[in-house]
Structure 1
Amino acid sequence: MNIAFSPCPNDTFVFHAWTHGLIPGAPELNVTYADIDITNNWAAKSEGPEVMKISYAALPWLLSDYKLLPCGGALGRGCGPLVLTGSSRGETSNPSSLAGKRVAVPSERSTAYLLFRLWAARNVPGGIGEIVVMPFHEIMPAVRDGHIDAGLVIHEARFTYPSYGLSMLIDLGSWWESDTGLPIPLGAIIAKRSLDTAAIAGWIRASVDYAWTHPEASQSYIMTHAQELSPDVAEAHIDLYVNAFTADLGEDGYAAITALLGRAAEEGLVPGFDLSLLR
């Protein structure tokens, strides 16, 4: 079976057991490690592998071909994307400073982007000037070096941005949680509807359970794919993004996804779709 997910520690932690043949009855995996912006576009064109990690924000484009699985993804609290600016520019606490400015984002089909646009619509008079899409690992250097006015960052950037001399303008996760009371829907696991999606979800849950039961087993695999991170940062990344929602979305998880995509559709940020397809 073909699968694509990112080389980030949370994904390699979750899928370590399955990729290493440790889940009884699960098929062998052919893994492609890809940035989420790549998988988002693969899925939208129906060109991707049978199972993929994508952003929840990409779901409206692909639910006719792929089914959202109830496990393996990333939702949570206190783990949202950040908007960063250069600390020397006097922009560290005033959202209106982004009016007319250039802001780098990791993808236009990402939860981070939807949260940013929903927040900016309420807090940036006159609107953002230009959205520039770039790989997430290039965003902080671009802000630091003055090529971009602000950057929307995800993943381990939550822990490393001070080392670039940057300041946080807004934690969009905290804003979302305060506004809705719901967790933040970040990364989803999807599978082709033509497959036995219930079986695939079972294998993923078994891989998650194995990871939690044997956390030391995946360390070498994780660090091989996250060589730019220290072991402490990788561990913090896993602790933040792998949680109860990874094992099962539950009612709060589905409510969060519905709220995010429903609001985004109302704002014209994603195409309208049948929300019942989320289950």
Structure 2
Amino acid sequence: MTLSLAISPCPNDTFVFHALVHGLVPGAPPVDVTYADVDVTNMAAAKGTYDLVKVSYAALPWLLDKYALLPCGGALGRGCGPLVLVRDPEATPDLAGRTVAVPGDRTTAYLLMRLWSAGAEPANVKVVPFHEIMPGVAAGKYDAGLVIHEARFTYHRHGLHALVDLGDWWERDTGLPIPLGAILARRGVVDPAEAATWVRESVHAAWADPEATQEYVLAHAQELEPAVASQHIALYVNDFTANLGEDGYAAVEALLGRAAEAGLTPALANSLR
């Protein structure tokens, strides 16, 4: 049986899944991979499109009836949160009345922004492809932009400034790491325990021989120079990628619990574990 897998083309995902995609994990089935931005995979997972899929943790309340959360393979950590960017370094420190470009309305980044900006919400929110956000803010098309991934390392090149680091805000407020992207296995199709073994072995294979992943990683991150791709991997692939652990699960539960209490997402109807 060939499994369908959907991940982003970002360096952390291609690094993590290199061995699985290339048939280098003993006992794992062949994989048919699709590369898409997380907003696309969030929506596809709501339809049960893929057997294994990378999604935003913020999307879990809509997905756990169809999918089981794997305890590995995702993106969660410290010092790696989304940023709200503006052109004016003297901008007022809130979003009240502004037009903000975001990478998806079920992304963790957007959920964090909504929790942070409670009481000073933007006037308009535009869902924009990730690669268009920083140029759009720089050109004055949007008052602010919510960015993720390698934008942490490149936003200065667009002449932009960070209004807030949402990861830093979350960590100071909760003491917990920030849960960004999750790996899910489709219920009734993929055994979650087996899938977790395949994914974890793929992670360890990448750590054991990172050079073997480089050509694949850079082929799907064509707009990034190797140094930025390496920074991206170092930040987003960490101990939580191999095992969520108690701190990881606590972070996800805190995020989704706060969101449900604020009426931003449905309450979880299925267990995370």
- TM-score, normalised with respect to structure 1: 0.95
2:111 is the alignment partner of 1:114:
yes
2:161 is the alignment partner of 1:167:
yes
Determine what percentage of the aligned residue pairs are the same residue: 64
Give the alignment partner of residue 99 of structure 2, picking from 92, 99, 102.
102
What displacement does 1:188 show?
0.1
Aligned to 1:23: 25
Give the alignment partner of residue 239 of structure 2, picking from 241, 244, 248.
244
* One-letter amino acid of the counterpart of residue 36, structure 1: V
* SS of corresponding position for 2:163: strand
Distance in 1, matches of 2:114 and 2:50, equals 30
* SS of corresponding position for 1:87: coil
* SS of corresponding position for 2:168: helix
Pairing of 1:115-130 with structure 2 (within 5 A): 115-121=112-118, 124=120, 127-130=121-124
Can you list the C-alpha shifts for 1:121-141, whole angstroms capped at 9, x where unaligned? 15x3xx210111001110000
Give the alignment partner of residue 210 of structure 2, picking from 210, 215, 222.
215
Runs (4+) off by over 2 Å:
none
Aligned to 1:73: 74
Select between 188-197 and 212-221 the one with higher mean Cα deviation. Answer: 188-197
Q: 5+ unaligned residues in a row in structure 2: which ranges?
A: none
What displacement does 1:65 show?
0.8
* One-letter amino acid of the counterpart of residue 17, structure 1: A
* SS of corresponding position for 2:117: helix
* One-letter amino acid of the counterpart of residue 108, structure 2: T
* SS of corresponding position for 1:277: coil
What displacement does 1:267 show?
1.1
Distance in 1, matches of 2:127 and 2:165, equals 19
Give the alignment partner of residue 254 of structure 1, picking from 225, 230, 249.
249
Aligned to 2:61: 60
RMSD over equivalenced CA pairs, Å = 1.0
Aligned to 1:155: 149
2:65 is the alignment partner of 1:36:
no
- Note if contact 1:87-1:165 (Cα within 8 Å) is conserved in structure 2: no
Aligned to 1:265: 260
What displacement does 1:58 show?
0.5
Q: May I ask how many residue pairs the two structures share in their alignment?
A: 270
* One-letter amino acid of the counterpart of residue 144, structure 2: A
2:199 is the alignment partner of 1:204:
yes
What displacement does 1:110 show?
0.6
What displacement does 1:176 show?
0.1
* One-letter amino acid of the counterpart of residue 96, structure 2: A
What displacement does 1:197 show?
1.1
Distance in 2, matches of 1:37 and 1:205, equals 24
What displacement does 1:44 show?
1.4
Q: 5+ unaligned residues in a row in structure 1: which ranges?
A: none
What displacement does 1:99 show?
1.1
- TM-score, normalised with respect to structure 2: 0.97
Q: Greater helix share, 1 or 2?
A: 1
* One-letter amino acid of the counterpart of residue 6, structure 2: A
Aligned to 2:84: 83
Can you list the C-alpha shifts for 1:3-39, whole angstroms capped at 9, x where unaligned? 0000000000000011111111110100000110001
Distance in 1, matches of 2:242 and 2:131, equals 28
Select between 10-19 and 192-201 the one with higher mean Cα deviation. Answer: 192-201
Distance in 2, matches of 1:15 and 1:177, equals 28
Can you list the C-alpha shifts for 1:153-207, whole angstroms capped at 9, x where unaligned? 0000000000000000000000000000000000000001112110010000000
* One-letter amino acid of the counterpart of residue 80, structure 1: G
